[in-house]
Chains A and B, each alone.
Chain A
């Protein structure tokens, strides 16, 4: 039994729980005064459960190599983009830079690639960070439970995996190559992560691929299932709206700002303890307005390209054309201007310090550290020691064509 069975019955209205029925009614098209009422309830519940605080995190992109073809993603295998996989020392340089900004919670992000993001690479990256980054989470290709367990044992506390779309048809159309084609395998990912011991699991749907209300209902059903079955984990959701990216994908569906607020507030009212994440995909003015309305965790000053914070990784930057590596023009003048391609364009470019000022004006305390790596460490007094990298760790510095 997994969420797949529950999901497959979701279209049968009679089998929906009272919670989902209520969720659906709250999400029906609403007048401005109804959205105002939802916002007021959401603010009160958020303060009640999370206080006057906001957690901050930063994404750190490790690699934009990917074997999947996902029509909407800038890292898609067939996109002719500038790619690189950072080595562990470069990852550490990026992380040190983020730590100087205040970040104590880092999300390591990588495309799915068995050659570059494998063989102990992720474990080494986690281990390199854990002495000064208390919270390390991953957003990487799905794994089996034993592989996830290795990540947990290395010090990863959270896992983020978005289903992208809960519409099977749309999913099939958009994922044309690579292991990501398997809808159910991805759908069961949070359960495998829980079994492996992750404490914090983030799920979500990319808004713009299918009708947002249908996506929201499936996401709510997923959460309801996970809260019952994975009772020791805490959950977060995110509602990323499509942003411009390589590949020039044109989203067929849209969701307005008012609808986004309705979505956030209805999730808060339905799941009062749920962490709600807001990234830098949204523009500054809207982010400022959304901060108090139900959001509990935000990123700031983000880059979506490997090496984006410090410029590392330029030494191995290369182009891929339909999965084949092509060396760049060695002209130093053009080389210095090059950096890896980002996954998508961000909209809020403000620094962590600027965001801190905004939060303080909103009477929200920025919380940088909310976890201690010693909780999961077998020996607290050794928590600062970085384990030796496994001998099998071989970060490919000479990538091979896919």
Chain B
């Protein structure tokens, strides 16, 4: 059994976080959450009813059991620090947890995070008592600046959101993981369970997956595959992997006869 994940004052058995966009129905999303074994679920605040009025046409939160999952509101849609901070405050005012996945992407095409605005918003939100999990490009210096500012994790991308391209930022992720003093959650671009396993084998503390599960022909089975891959990658990292090399190494050594007892 892999060790639990500790973020701020919370402990989690699962190291797979799930996003809730792009599913063919809220029911499909809810079933996928169960199949994934996740304990942390992120929801775009712009999709939810924040008026507490029980809007039946914006009822995504009704499909996420707060007893079972940590609901991690995200600020997707915000293009500036001001907008993200505003959304975070509104989420708390609407009764949501004061944990926030900070996403600021002014470019709506590739949804790449703005480092300047993200750092500015993180500084404000940490001071206001939020547990901040910032989505960032795989920039090791930015990751350290955010940790210095007091964020609870850093969430560098493997590749752009929804691209399913996997760990295009692998070398930068390795540096971020090596230098991290908070958990590193690889977020975005993980298109196959093998990508999740690879991120965990690198030493990531958790991964976040959405598109690959949501648009799969069978979201529940894909969620289960990501669950197993995440666990496998974590176990492999905790156990330690042998180094790779270019040449073959025989499993039956050639010179072992030298050290065997010779019959008298």
Contact = CB atoms under 8 A, between A and B. Distances in A.
Contacts of A102: 57
A96 to B, nearest CB: 14
B24 A227 contact: no
A48 B215 CA distance: 7
B256 to A, nearest CB: 53
B194 interface: no
B27 to A, nearest CB: 10
Interface stretch (A11-19, A313-321, A362-370): A362-370
Interface in B27-59: 45-51, 55, 57-58
Nearest to A271: B109
Interface in B81-133: 83, 86-87, 89-90, 93, 106-110
Contacts of B26: 365
B2 interface: no
A273 interface: yes
B206 interface: no
State the majority secondary structure of interface residues on B. Answer: loop
Nearest to B26: A365
B214 interface: yes
A167 interface: no
Given A368-B57, A375-B87, A273 B215 contact: no
A369 B21 CA distance: 12
Contacts, number: 95
B69 interface: no
Nearest to A362: B24
A342 B20 CA distance: 40
A234 B83 CA distance: 17
Interface string B219-245: 000000000000000000000000000
A381 B79 CA distance: 19
B156 interface: no
A10 interface: no
Interface in A370-390: 370-372, 374-377, 379-381, 383-384
Interface string A336-380: 000000000000000000000000100111011111101111011
A245 interface: no
Nearest to A275: B108
A383 B94 CA distance: 13
A273 B109 contact: yes
Nearest to A227: B109
B77 interface: yes
B83 A233 contact: no
A315 B134 CA distance: 55
A153 interface: no
Given A52-B24, A369-B58, A384 B51 contact: yes
Q: Which 5 A-B pairs have the closest CB atoms?
A: A51-B22, A52-B24, A234-B108, A369-B58, A368-B57
13 contacts: A47-B215, A50-B22, A51-B21, A51-B215, A52-B24, A104-B55, A360-B25, A365-B25, A367-B47, A368-B57, A375-B78, A375-B87, A380-B90
Interface of A: 47-53, 102, 104, 134, 199, 227, 231-234, 273, 360, 363-365, 367-372, 374-377, 379-381, 383-384
Interface of B: 21-26, 45-51, 55, 57-58, 77-79, 83, 86-87, 89-90, 93, 106-110, 162, 164, 211, 214-215
